[in-house]
């Protein structure tokens, strides 16, 4: 296995922490968090990265809240477009490989049942538009970069939808979740394994690539599957039933959400030469690890 010096940005977030934990044992890993790198200052990015030695940069940083992006578009542009462009320029100058994490929200969520890498992107909110512009900025500055689109992440380092649903079900049987928003939950642990294979065995893969588990879900089905697994593990959940509601009923959102952003992982399967497991299997493994280790 070749020696890779890996620099992780956004290492305090859920995905960033998972990447750090995964790569730390076998690689020379360094991280830069918000306190060490102000991504709103592109001059600081250039100076800081120029002083670092790395072969691969994993960029898991950015402004990921659609609602915050909607009310703070200038900040969203700085963190999701300008900063990735500056990072990519530094990577290109160093001849280092950049893997930049993006989102299923680059798609409109309309017309198609499943989205492939080459499909037309037409985001419906500021978050999606800035993430798409960030993809284009990265590939413009560093054509050999890999843009990893991910969806509905969960894992050990940050509470997400299944964790929140289980926590609520321990207290009440009155649960609801959106049943008309479609994508696929994706395990941070699986992403870490895929990224390692892409670094070690596929150094020439570039452009957009969908990193997601297999299958289809809604927030509603994701919740019910999580509760059934929790019940099987002996957690005293009060119900495994969740009341389905429409996305339109959630009036607290400031940003419009795309309805159907299910991404195809066929290209990923072809590159890795392996079948990508279902989101249900990945979710079960995560919940077993989390709750049986206590």
Q: Does residue 110 contact residue 259 with C-beta atoms inside 8 Å?
A: yes
* Residue carrying the six token digits 């979710």: 283
Query: What pLDDT does residue 112 have?
Result: 87
Bridging pattern class, strands 182-183 and 217-218: antiparallel
- Bridge partners (DSSP) of residue 59 are 9, 100
Query: What pLDDT does residue 43 have?
Result: 87
CA distance 220 to 182: 10
Query: What pLDDT does residue 33 have?
Result: 83
**In the chain, what are the domains?**
5-159+184-216+261-278 (3.40.50.720)
Question: Which residues are designated catalytic?
Answer: 127
- Helix axes 42-50 and 83-94, enclosed angle (nearest 10): 30
Per 3-state DSSP, the chain is made up of helix, strand and coil in percentages (nearest 5) of 45, 15, 40
215 φ/ψ sector (left φ>0, alpha ψ -120 to 50, else beta): left
289 is written with which tokens? 């690890």
- Bridge partners (DSSP) of residue 100 are 59, 147
- What is the 3-class SS of 44-93, one letter each residue? HHHHHHHCCCCCEEEECCCCCCHHHHHHCHHHHHHHHHHHHHHHHHHHHH
CA distance 204 to 88: 16
Mean pLDDT by runs of 10 across the 294 residues of the chain is 81 95 95 88 92 96 97 98 98 97 97 94 97 98 98 96 98 98 98 97 97 98 98 98 97 96 98 98 97 77
Closest Cα partner for 32 from 23, 22, 4, 13?
13
Query: What pLDDT does residue 293 have?
Result: 67
CA distance 276 to 79: 31
CA distance 3 to 256: 44
CA distance 173 to 270: 43
82 is written with which tokens? 């300008």
Closest Cα partner for 184 from 122, 129, 110, 265?
265
């Amino acid at each position: 296995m070749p020696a890779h010096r890996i620099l992780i940005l956004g290492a305090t977030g859920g995905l960033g922490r998972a990447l750090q934990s995964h790569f730390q044992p076998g690689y020379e890993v360094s991280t830069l968090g918000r306190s060490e790198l102000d991504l709103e200052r592109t001059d600081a990015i250039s100076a800081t990265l120029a002083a670092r030695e790395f072969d691969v940069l994993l960029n898991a940083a950015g402004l990921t809240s659609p609602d915050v992006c909607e009310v703070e578009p200038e900040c969203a542009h700085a963190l999701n477009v300008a900063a990735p462009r500056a990072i990519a320029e530094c990577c290109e100058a160093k001849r280092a490989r950049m893997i930049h994490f993006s989102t299923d929200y680059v798609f409109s969520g309309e017309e198609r049942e499943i989205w492939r890498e080459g499909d037309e992107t037409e985001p419906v909110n500021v978050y999606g538009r800035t993430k798409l512009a960030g993809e284009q900025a990265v590939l413009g500055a560093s054509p050999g970069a890999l843009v990893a689109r991910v969806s509905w992440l969960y894992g050990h380092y940050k509470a997400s939808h299944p964790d929140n649903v289980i926590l609520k079900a321990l207290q009440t049987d009155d649960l609801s979740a959106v049943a008309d928003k479609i994508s696929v939950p994706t395990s941070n642990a699986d992403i870490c394994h895929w990224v390692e294979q892409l670094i070690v065995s596929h150094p020439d893969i570039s452009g957009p690539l969908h990193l997601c588990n297999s299958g289809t879900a809604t927030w509603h089905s994701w919740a019910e599957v999580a509760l059934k697994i929790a019940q099987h593990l002996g957690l005293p959940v009060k119900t495994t039933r969740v009341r389905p509601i429409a996305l339109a009923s959630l009036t607290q959102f400031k940003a419009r959400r795309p309805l159907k952003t299910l991404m195809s992982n066929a290209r990923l399967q072809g590159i890795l030469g392996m079948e990508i497991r279902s989101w249900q299997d990945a979710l079960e493994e995560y919940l077993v690890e989390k709750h049986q280790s206590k």
